[in-house]
Amino acid sequence: MCMAFNPLQFFCRPVAAFLFLFFTVTLLSQTTLAVTEGEACSVTGQTSMDNNGNTFSTFICDGANWVILTQGTTSGYLGINKSSPEAPLDVAGEIKVGASTGILCNSSNEGTLRFDSTTKVLEICTGATWDSLNLSCDNSPSGFDIPNTTGASTSTSYPSSIVQITDISCPTLVSISGSPAPEFRICNDATCSNVAVAYGSTSQNITNGQYIQVRNTSDSADGKVTTATLNVGSAVDNYNISTTDNATYKRVFITSNRYRGNFGGVTAADNICMSEASAAGLSGTYYAWVATDATNDPESRFTRATVPYRFVDGTKMANDWTDLVDGAISVANKRMHADGNVTGFSSSPWTGVNQDGTAYLTNGDPLYDNCNKWTTNGSAYTGRDGANNTTGTWSSANDEQCDQQNWLYCFEQ
């Protein structure tokens, strides 16, 4: 203790001040943390700041445990959502860079990052200009080519060949577009028995060595192409599906005039068809789809086409002769004339023909099967007709009174 008038008293006050400061600093430097990361807490949003001498930490309570917000160290390191940072800035999680605030790029701001919300890329200030941050990545696959499909049936889904994607150095975005509804899938093997991403049209990433397969639907008409455009990184390829080009199809129409059952027989009906085809500018030979007996029916006298039968607007009636006489056609009778006009009348066509192209002889008497071989218009007699509104009874539907007025089918040979 320093006494009054002690010769050393001029030393006492500085020493006392020094000792007070020394013990204060010592006590502060040895203060323990009030909370630790993961320790239980109960007040959501409560915060705590702690200094243990080597680190300065901030915590927040999530309602159950203390979660670290930041921690600074005596090394000058700062951890965000992370304790014991190992770098000047150590972030445990993603970093979101917002849109640029308009800060200028100059020597004072060199190294500053910003996000260009227009180009959607990160940029760095070089001290004079903002330059895009481009990662080094080869996203252009080698030999990327999907073979096309030709000779396809109409309105049918076709998968492409399975193609391996090689020589890309990073996950690469795959996208698809086109019509009518193309899709792709990503597989881990050459047969796609191990599918990584199922068929869909949403953009996906593919990695080097994986496989890709496209599928699309062919057009509803022959001689048409549907296209799926596949983008794999910077590479683009089209997958085309071409339906069979049947330029030499056989045309079908109904006569523009209607006739009673006495139109004159098979040959007379053929002449009517030829006359109307010529008037409409249609080339070729045309026979009427009518019959009187087993030697005068389509089955015995028609050329059996191996190409489609189409109405004059291009709509397919049947794929070929076999398809035509198998019991049903592709579409119901369009009631379309040789000039392409469609009749407003709902009358049925005279035929006397079964669905298989043979003569209709069910009644056993031509007076009731085919208006006496198409020579009478008496209301007491009947002839067989076809239905307009179905695909299954287009040739043989009802026994019609011979005084009714009906069309004739005409088929190109």
Domain count, the chain: 4
pLDDT band at 132 (very low <50, low <70, confident <90, very high): low
pLDDT in tens, 68-92: 888 888 887 877 877 788 888 888 7
- Tokens 């807490």 map to which residue? 41
- Tokens 């009030």 map to which residue? 34
* Mean pLDDT across 151-174: 92
Supply the CATH number for residue 290's domain.
3.10.100.10
Residues 6+ apart with CB under 8 A from 92: 79, 80, 81, 82
- pTM over 0.75? The answer is no
Helix (H, G, I), strand (E, B) or coil at 91: strand
Structure token digits, residue 192? 């796609």
pLDDT band at 302 (very low <50, low <70, confident <90, very high): very high
Do you find a cis peptide bond into 180, omega within 30 degrees of 0?
A: yes
* Mean pLDDT across 224-251: 88
Give yes or no: residues 348 and 313 share one domain. yes
Give yes or no: residues 318 and 256 share one domain. yes
Regarding predicted confidence, which is higher, 12 or 164? 164
pLDDT in tens, 362-384: 988 989 999 999 999 999 999 99
Last residue of a domain, one of 243, 275, 290: 243
CA 173 to chain CA centroid, Å, is 16
Residue 28 covered by a domain: no
Regarding predicted confidence, which is higher, 373 or 113? 373
Last residue of a domain, one of 243, 267, 284: 243
Give yes or no: residues 308 and 403 share one domain. yes
pLDDT band at 99 (very low <50, low <70, confident <90, very high): low
Last residue of a domain, one of 56, 71, 90: 90
Give yes or no: residues 263 and 369 share one domain. yes
Nearest to 253 by CA among 227, 224, 281: 281
Residue 34 covered by a domain: no
pLDDT band at 329 (very low <50, low <70, confident <90, very high): very high
* Mean pLDDT across 275-289: 94
Buried b (16+ CB within 10 A) or exposed e, 179-213: eeebbbbbbeeeebeeebbeeeeeebebebebbbb
- Comparing 4-13, 41-50, 332-341, which segment has the lowest mean pLDDT? 4-13
Give yes or no: residues 265 and 277 share one domain. yes
So what's the pLDDT on residue 134? 59
Give yes or no: residues 396 and 265 share one domain. yes
So what's the pLDDT on residue 216? 98
Domain hosting residue 385, numbered range: 247-412
Residue 20 covered by a domain: no
User: Residue 138 pLDDT more than 60?
Assistant: yes
- Comparing 94-98, 167-171, 282-286, which segment has the lowest mean pLDDT? 94-98
* Mean pLDDT across 307-321: 90
Regarding predicted confidence, which is higher, 223 or 166? 166
Give yes or no: residues 255 and 393 share one domain. yes
- The phi, psi pair for 47, rounded to 5°, reads -120, 160
Regarding predicted confidence, which is higher, 268 or 86? 268
- Comparing 100-114, 155-169, 210-224, which segment has the lowest mean pLDDT? 100-114
pLDDT band at 206 (very low <50, low <70, confident <90, very high): very high
So what's the pLDDT on residue 120? 64
Supply the CATH number for residue 163's domain.
2.60.40
Give yes or no: residues 174 and 312 share one domain. no
Between CA 30 and CA 332 the distance in angstroms is 95
Residue 23 covered by a domain: no
What is the number of helices (H) and of strands (E) in the chain?
Answer: 6, 26
Helix (H, G, I), strand (E, B) or coil at 300: helix
So what's the pLDDT on residue 345? 66
Residue 55 covered by a domain: yes
Structure token digits, residue 140? 């252009």
Residue 322 covered by a domain: yes
Q: For all residues of the chain together, what is the average pLDDT?
A: 85
Give yes or no: residues 78 and 111 share one domain. no
Task: Please report, rounded to a whole number, the percentage of residues in the chain having pLDDT higher than 70.
Answer: 87
So what's the pLDDT on residue 14? 40
Give yes or no: residues 118 and 163 share one domain. no
Regarding predicted confidence, which is higher, 162 or 118? 162
Give yes or no: residues 299 and 395 share one domain. yes
Give yes or no: residues 403 and 345 share one domain. yes
Residue 378 covered by a domain: yes
pLDDT band at 119 (very low <50, low <70, confident <90, very high): low
Residue 122 covered by a domain: yes
